Amino acid sequence: MKASEIELAEAIGDDHISAALETPMVENAFDLSDDEKILQIEHHFAEIMKTMGLDLTDDSLQGTPRRVAKMYIKEVFTGLDPKNKPSVALFKNKYKYKEMLVEKNITVKSFCEHHFVPIIGMAHVAYISNGNVIGLSKINRIVQYYAKRPQVQERLTVQIANELKKILKTEDVAVIIDAKHMCVSMRGVEDETSSTVTSSYHGKFQNDEKKQELFKYMD
């Protein structure tokens, strides 16, 4: 990269300017098995630690590269792999419930893709059934799946909304996320108290009346 490009890339990362809707991934992202990925990350993370001057022969540090590699592939970034996408069964809404359903205060634990430090907060998800419903815990699972990626909050919000629209076969979906970014509190401006709110309103949620109803339930 040229110096001007590096400067721009750093500025974009710091300002969290939103990226494309799809998580940017290379075509051969799944050529390696999970075990092969863990081995490679273990090697590279050890190099990072050594570069910083850490002694990897120390008892306390020697297991860290492998621990980090396993955490990335088996825990915090499992949402990158479509094989981990939750399967969601759609049920007929037999009780004819046609009102708004709000699932609020869903824990969001993600990672900022610009700094690889945590984003922690809450998601509030709403939909209006058009005759189909899903199990309530599935909403949490969908949030978790998309959160377990390196993310920008804006993209996470829209990805969850789009997935729910697809599954529920309705446009009437709303997602709000309120989260704290460790890249804002631990570094950069080091602000402890600010949080970021993003929203994605679709279908009937684009009209003010439905929005107000949703806000009422969230109070």
**Dihedral angle, C-alpha 82, 157, 24, 35, nearest 10 °:** -40
Q: Which of 73, 112, 158, 174 binds Zn ion (CB under 5 A)?
A: 112
Which run of H or E residues covers position 217?
helix 208-218
Q: Is 114 in the site for Zn ion (CB under 5 A)?
A: yes
For the chain, what's the residue count?
219
Active site residues: 112-115, 153, 181, 183
Q: Which of 23, 79, 115, 158 binds Zn ion (CB under 5 A)?
A: 115
Question: Smallest distance, Å, CB 179 to Zn ion?
Answer: 11
Segment contacting Zn ion (CB under 5 A): 37-45, 46-54, 145-153, 180-188?
180-188
Question: Smallest distance, Å, CB 63 to Zn ion?
Answer: 27
Phi and psi angles of residue 121, each rounded to the nearest 5 degrees, phi first: -175, -155
Segment contacting Zn ion (CB under 5 A): 55-63, 98-106, 114-122, 153-161?
114-122
Question: Smallest distance, Å, CB 76 to Zn ion?
Answer: 15
Distance CA 22, CA 217 (A): 31
Query: Is 114:16 a contact under the CB 8 Å cutoff?
Result: yes
Contacts of 169 (CB under 8 A, 6+ apart): 90, 130, 132
Please give the residue ranges that form the binding site for Zn ion (CB under 5 A).
112, 114-115, 183
